[in-house]
Structure 1
């Protein structure tokens, strides 16, 4: 009969346990190495939010675009060069707002002066997004820290990983389930569009080219459709023209987005579909009538999103600047 020394047996048991990268993150990761981390990010966010309130929606959109493609690793922040076409140059990312890149850059520069080479850009983006949501009246959820920045950012990785405004509910459910999210979590995350906005090109077909006999989607609230057509009248000449996803309280993080969907005031086809499909409508109705529940579920879903496929020691780096890898061999 074989005999195992207790220490060897313990080692075998430890090796047999599933290893979780998530377990390497912590709420106080920078407590000793960069004690002013939270204050620096918070102060940077507060200044930016005061001068440009749309930064919250911009940051959230950037955060989702990052985390849904290869995990929360700041890969979307990398600029393309002659050697590499990066994620941010994918067509779906062309509309990513500059305010979000700017607030991350500002915080990173200040952090580099205070504690150089310590704080990752991916942690800055995750923390800044949470703080901006809270500054807009939304929930303040936990952000675990310790992510490292990606060593790869390729335009080819983007397609099929970020939801598009005209996708069906079947397509959206498939996409989010592949990322580990339930249907309810998907609907809760879509509630972030309460402070979001959409480029007119993303939904212009619902206003001007719905069908041969009906140029405007008849299921859009008629008064809302008129307002959208005015806002987007020159969308072909002005690529930057856009509209708020929640026209009622566009700068306030609340549950009015869901209430609007039930009134036929969803901007994109996907927004509208959330209120039609029975698999998602029940959650739209639930959140429309209970803001506290929406805040709770949104916060939990964001915590889950923020640790998707994070990189830790050996799998990433702490970039000196957020738009470039530390070495030129990428």
Structure 2
């Protein structure tokens, strides 16, 4: 018996709805309400304490969540060290090697939670909660973090090298990487706004200062006075690991100055400035909106963080709850 075209289409739509995001509906802001009701405050207190000695840590923890979710989904694979069945760690992938940080803070949070409610809270959920606490404590927006993720059993170093946007990527490449995990242009611009706090090493943007795209000249989109400042901070042949504020006006505060910087051609990373300087791009109007309306940016950022946190989470009986965030149980 043959189905009508409309009936067949309806079945396809229902099938896709059930298979594309089968676990997202299982995440809930109240997942630990009975098993670990204080989990959010434990995480927030630990992040607040870490910020007292390291003002960069909020940006680092937010970045950690991003780098986790883009590889194998939000499963805490970025936290795994080499050992046992893990022969290649995501920590040693190009986007993370000698730049990803905050692992010790995650360890401290895990230890505190295990003391309060052992064997209950996943490392993946800790990373998600730490990102929200970091943004909120940095004067940014807050949101209800959806919880119930479980921890992955594998790491994917090659996936990290391929999936995580690079600071020298074109806007087309970055857009494709976001689309590959189900995130759209608005998500891309909003999440890029996390570069409103934190630091970047000279090696991630020095090509813009002296020899952009092999031209022997600086990136023409860079404001001339900002270029001179960066050339002094990152001289040719200098220390590539020297740190520079992603947002020179308010480096430790989560605000919309990042977008104002882009409008003024003061984006530090090439991947940032291309959001505004790529002719004809749909990102330009979004940057302009966020630059003039911080509330709109905050609302969009919160929505996009929830969207990102929904990338392929392990739930139910999938994965495990690691007792040590750095290694798979039993390894």
If the length of structure 2 is used for normalisation, what is the TM-score?
A: 0.89
2:83, 2:327 within 8 Å by CA — same for their partners in 1? no
CA distance in 1, matches of 2:84, 2:119: 26
1:62, 1:96 within 8 Å by CA — same for their partners in 2? no
Distance verdict in 2 for CA 1:32–1:241, change over 3 Å: same
2:202, 2:239 within 8 Å by CA — same for their partners in 1? no
Aligned to 1:119, what secondary structure does the other structure show? coil
CA distance in 1, matches of 2:167, 2:62: 16
Q: What's the counterpart of residue 8 of structure 1?
A: none
Q: Please, which of 308, 311, 329 is the counterpart of residue 326 of structure 1?
A: 329
Q: What's the counterpart of residue 5 of structure 1?
A: none
Q: Which moved more, 1:84-93 or 1:210-219?
A: 210-219
Aligned to 2:244, what secondary structure does the other structure show? strand
Q: What's the counterpart of residue 18 of structure 1?
A: 18
How far off is 1:211 after superposition?
6.5
What whole-Å deviation, never above 9, does each CA across 1:77-103 have from its counterpart, x for those lacking one?
Answer: 0011375112111122114343x2122
1:146, 1:312 within 8 Å by CA — same for their partners in 2? yes
Q: What's the counterpart of residue 139 of structure 1?
A: 141
Q: What's the counterpart of residue 245 of structure 2?
A: 244
CA distance in 1, matches of 2:17, 2:172: 35
Q: What's the counterpart of residue 103 of structure 1?
A: 105
Q: Please, which of 103, 122, 125 is the counterpart of residue 123 of structure 1?
A: 125
Distance verdict in 2 for CA 1:151–1:212, change over 3 Å: closer
2:89, 2:157 within 8 Å by CA — same for their partners in 1? yes
Aligned to 1:160, what secondary structure does the other structure show? helix
Q: What's the counterpart of residue 96 of structure 2?
A: 93
Distance verdict in 2 for CA 1:211–1:189, change over 3 Å: closer
Q: What's the counterpart of residue 271 of structure 1?
A: 272
Aligned to 2:163, what secondary structure does the other structure show? coil
1:80, 1:89 within 8 Å by CA — same for their partners in 2? no
Aligned to 2:124, what secondary structure does the other structure show? helix
CA distance in 2, matches of 1:62, 1:96: 10
Aligned to 1:117, what secondary structure does the other structure show? coil
1:232, 1:242 within 8 Å by CA — same for their partners in 2? no
1:117, 1:320 within 8 Å by CA — same for their partners in 2? yes
Aligned to 2:95, what secondary structure does the other structure show? helix
Distance verdict in 2 for CA 1:164–1:16, change over 3 Å: closer
1:189, 1:301 within 8 Å by CA — same for their partners in 2? yes
List structure 1 segments (4+ residues) > 4 angstroms apart after TM superposition.
14-17, 211-214
Q: What's the counterpart of residue 224 of structure 1?
A: 226
Q: Which moved more, 1:221-230 or 1:17-26?
A: 17-26
CA distance in 2, matches of 1:111, 1:226: 47
For structure 2, the 5+ residue unaligned runs are 1-13
CA distance in 2, matches of 1:75, 1:183: 26
Q: What's the counterpart of residue 176 of structure 2?
A: 174
Distance verdict in 2 for CA 1:17–1:294, change over 3 Å: closer
What whole-Å deviation, never above 9, does each CA across 1:244-270 have from its counterpart, x for those lacking one?
Answer: 211111111111101101111011211
Distance verdict in 2 for CA 1:151–1:33, change over 3 Å: same
How far off is 1:227 after superposition?
1.4
CA distance in 2, matches of 1:224, 1:15: 52
Aligned Cα RMSD in Å?
Answer: 2.0
Distance verdict in 2 for CA 1:16–1:206, change over 3 Å: closer
2:124, 2:149 within 8 Å by CA — same for their partners in 1? yes
How far off is 1:192 after superposition?
0.8
Q: What's the counterpart of residue 194 of structure 1?
A: 196
Distance verdict in 2 for CA 1:37–1:18, change over 3 Å: same
Distance verdict in 2 for CA 1:247–1:116, change over 3 Å: same
- Asked if 1:289 is matched to 2:289, the reply is no
